[in-house]
A and B are shown apart, each in its own frame.
Chain A
């Protein structure tokens, strides 16, 4: 019962460095999401992918890129990390039965610090 697997759990970067956060789900879900969570700000959507081959910007996409490699995997890339990107990042996939019946499954999160 892996669910949503997210790596790494912790990462420290220097300003200007790049990195990719990996996310994979084994539940055959079409929709996948990347959120960031900051104290006092709640969860904010960075990018989402409604289905394999499509991606769309969320509320806070600047400084990030994403790739929906296949149905299972959705990666988030920071090309040139900035201190403002210090945050906890969550990947999620969405199971949708019908309107009103849905559930988000989250990965365990990545604590990222940019110095």
Chain B
């Protein structure tokens, strides 16, 4: 089983739709969780961290379920500019002081007019 798994998509949705992505992780010792966004042929950029209590940033809501070992990202009122690949990232501590970041393969979102 891969350490971090995501549905690759693509998710094709109309503007204004609500779309949700899930990500599962295998290591129960995972410490920190993030969503990164990557536009086509560009570098990944941090979208948001995911906290145990869940967190919201405008149209984006991230949730963490430690018991089931999954993370979700909800995008409301999707815009054309939301079209990108969304990467789930988990930090696992293998004994070092900082832990290592493990990337999922990403979920591609395409928002259509």
Which residues of chain A have a CB within 8 Å of any CB of chain B? Answer: 31, 35, 40-45, 48, 50, 58, 90, 94, 96, 99-104, 106-109
Residues of A within 8 A of B42 (CB): 108-109
* Total cross-chain contacts (CB, 8 A): 49
Which residues of chain B have a CB within 8 Å of any CB of chain A? Answer: 8, 31-32, 36, 41-46, 49, 51, 87, 91, 96-98, 100-101, 103-106
Residues of B within 8 A of A96 (CB): 98
Given known A31-B98, A43-B87, contact A104–B105 (CB-CB < 8 A): no
Given known A42-B87, A100-B49, A104-B101, contact A109–B43 (CB-CB < 8 A): yes
SS of B interface (majority): loop
Cross-interface CB contact of B103 among A40, A42, A50, cutoff 8 Å: A42
SS of A interface (majority): strand
A99 near B31 with CB under 8 A, answer: yes
Bound complex: CA of A103 vs CA of B45, how far in Å?
A: 9
B98 near A45 with CB under 8 A, answer: no
